């Protein structure tokens, strides 16, 4: 058995010692004992496997996942070696892990709250934000955003009356967020954030804007059709109300 074959077999070695009595695993373990580099790799691999197993034990599997794995598993001939069967088990575990990660991401998306969104967006503008496109022309900004395949933005009239500075595209729970910045006086900026309303499903059209304070920033959030809007300014609630669509 050469080093590469031993490594391939040891990659299927399960946490614990249930594979220790298997002749092929035993031979691969002996090869690792003779090769310091292979031994280091095997030790790291086992530590990683133990960590993954510990995490998997603490996370409930999505409903029906075991059934799907078993239903898609190809029947194995009785003559196949146990280490090859173990490889199939590893593949199933990796599939399970991928499903759990996907499930966690979907859960994170669906459980995103407006306060989460407010905090994340305000944290980005606490210092002057780096902009991908700078322009004092709102039409040029909208054209640039259109080329980036983001949804069109209905800028509130009183905000549109300010001089724009530029824009960029952010991300929130895997969804694109449009940020347009406007000059508010000599030193301050007013920021408009727009995201697909699916990111904030509890924000419904027709309801009054939600006001919130995040440090020295005040935000106003509302929904129009399939978009969720948020304005963030310094100066308190009266300052942000000034720029709302129906102000």
pLDDT interval class at 103 (50, 70, 90): very low
pLDDT interval class at 96 (50, 70, 90): low
Q: Is residue 190 within 8 Å of residue 217, measured between CB atoms? A: no
DSSP state of 35: -
Q: Is the pLDDT of residue 15 over 70?
A: no
Contacts of 31 by beta carbon, 8 Å cutoff, 6+ apart? 1, 3, 6, 38
Tokens coding 3: 């080093």
- Among residues 207, 246, 198, the alpha carbon closest in space to that of 226 is found at 198
**Cα torsion through 223, 228, 234, 237, rounded to 10:** 20
Tell me what pLDDT residue 92 has.
Answer: 58
- Among residues 191, 186, 181, the alpha carbon closest in space to that of 138 is found at 181
Angle subtended at Cα 199 by Cα 197 and Cα 203, rounded to the nearest 5 degrees: 50
- In tens, the pLDDT along 171-218 reads 888 889 999 999 998 889 999 999 999 999 888 998 999 999 988 999
Mean pLDDT of 21-36: 84
- In tens, the pLDDT along 57-80 reads 666 655 445 444 544 444 444 444
- Cα dihedral sign, 206-175-231-152: negative
* Predicted model pTM: 0.57
- In tens, the pLDDT along 116-138 reads 899 889 988 887 778 999 999 99
**Cα torsion through 75, 80, 86, 92, rounded to 10:** -20
């Amino acid at each position: 058995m050469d080093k590469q074959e031993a490594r391939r077999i040891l990659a299927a070695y399960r946490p614990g010692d249930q594979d220790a009595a298997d002749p092929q695993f035993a031979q691969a373990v002996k090869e690792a004992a003779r090769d310091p580099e292979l031994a280091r790799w095997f030790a790291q691999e086992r530590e990683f496997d133990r960590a993954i197993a510990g995490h998997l034990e603490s996370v409930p599997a999505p409903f029906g996942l075991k059934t799907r794995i078993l239903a898609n598993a190809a029947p194995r001939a009785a003559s196949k070696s146990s280490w090859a069967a173990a490889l199939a088990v590893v593949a199933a575990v990796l599939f399970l892990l991928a499903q759990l990660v996907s499930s966690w991401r979907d859960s994170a998306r669906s459980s995103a709250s407006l306060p989460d969104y407010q905090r994340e967006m305000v944290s980005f503008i606490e210092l002057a934000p780096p902009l991908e496109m700078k322009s004092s022309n709102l039409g040029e900004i909208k054209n640039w955003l259109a080329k980036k395949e983001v949804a069109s933005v209905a800028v509130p009239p009183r905000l549109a009356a300010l001089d724009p500075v530029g824009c960029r595209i952010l991300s929130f729970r895997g969804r694109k967020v449009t940020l347009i910045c406007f000059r508010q006086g000599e030193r301050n900026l007013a920021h408009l954030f727009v995201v697909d309303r699916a990111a904030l499903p509890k924000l419904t059209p027709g309801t009054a804007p939600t006001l919130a304070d995040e440090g020295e920033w005040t935000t106003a959030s509302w929904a129009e059709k399939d978009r969720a809007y948020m304005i963030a300014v310094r100066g308190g609630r009266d300052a942000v109300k000034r720029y709302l669509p129906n102000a």
